[in-house]
Amino acid sequence: MSKQPSKILYAQDFPRIAACGPHVGGGFNSRVQGVEFYSATRGSHQFERGEGWYAADEMIATGQIYFVHPFPHKNCRSSGFVYGGTWACNECRTDGFQKPWWNVRVMKDGSAWCVVGEGFEDLQISDNYAFGDTRESALEAYASIMNAKTA
């Protein structure tokens, strides 16, 4: 694992991304916050925003950065969407259901997948992590641990 801070970082924290300007940075930050591609790239500067969105998506997929993962809420089948900085859902008609522990980093660790939450330091002193055989099963294991902790 790299030595970068154990928390969500934004475009301005990465010189390579920041150098690309505010629209690329805006797309990057949208992906980090969990905004879907089609929402993040609507309107003006859509190509620059798309470039930033994909740059973040690649860093998320390869476990380089923290991001907001929309975990299941209230037995609802929909994952909801980001609206004005908070999460909302049309299926169950609620909002504000996101949790601080949704901020995660997902990495391949040998043949296993590992999910760690913000503030994670190591396996000895931290308790906000989980492993799984697949990316999805690691996320599910992490959610059940964190739901149990905060219940």
If phi over 0 gives left and psi between -120 and 50 gives alpha, with beta otherwise, what is residue 59?
Answer: alpha
- Asked if 91 interacts with Zn ion (CB under 5 A), we say yes
* Sole window of 2-10, 57-65, 91-99, 134-142 interacting with Zn ion (rule: CB under 5 A): 91-99
Instruction: Report how far residue 131's alpha carbon sits from residue 139's, in angstroms, rounded to the nearest whole number.
Output: 8
* Sole window of 37-45, 48-56, 84-92, 118-126 interacting with Zn ion (rule: CB under 5 A): 84-92
Taking the complex as a whole, the smallest distance from the CB of residue 80 to Zn ion amounts, in Å, to 5
Taking the complex as a whole, the smallest distance from the CB of residue 35 to Zn ion amounts, in Å, to 17
Bridge partners, 130 (sequence order): 115
- Asked if 145 interacts with Zn ion (CB under 5 A), we say no
In this complex, which beta carbon is closest to Zn ion, that of residue 20 or of residue 88? Answer: 88
Long-range contacts of 24-27 (CB under 8 A, 24+ apart): 24/48, 24/49, 24/51, 24/52, 24/55, 25/52, 26/52, 27/51, 27/52, 27/53, 27/54, 27/55, 27/56
- Asked if 58 interacts with Zn ion (CB under 5 A), we say no
In this complex, which beta carbon is closest to Zn ion, that of residue 30 or of residue 98? Answer: 98
- Asked if 89 interacts with Zn ion (CB under 5 A), we say yes
Q: Which helix (H) or strand (E) holds 25?
A: helix 22-33
* Binding-site string for Zn ion from residue 62 to residue 81, where x marks contact by CB under 5 A and - marks none: --------------x-x---
Instruction: Report how far residue 27's alpha carbon sits from residue 58's, in angstroms, rounded to the nearest whole number.
Output: 13
- 36-42-45 Cα angle (round to 5): 120
- Asked if 90 interacts with Zn ion (CB under 5 A), we say no
In this complex, which beta carbon is closest to Zn ion, that of residue 36 or of residue 118? Answer: 36
Residues that bind Zn ion (CB under 5 A): 76, 78, 89, 91-92
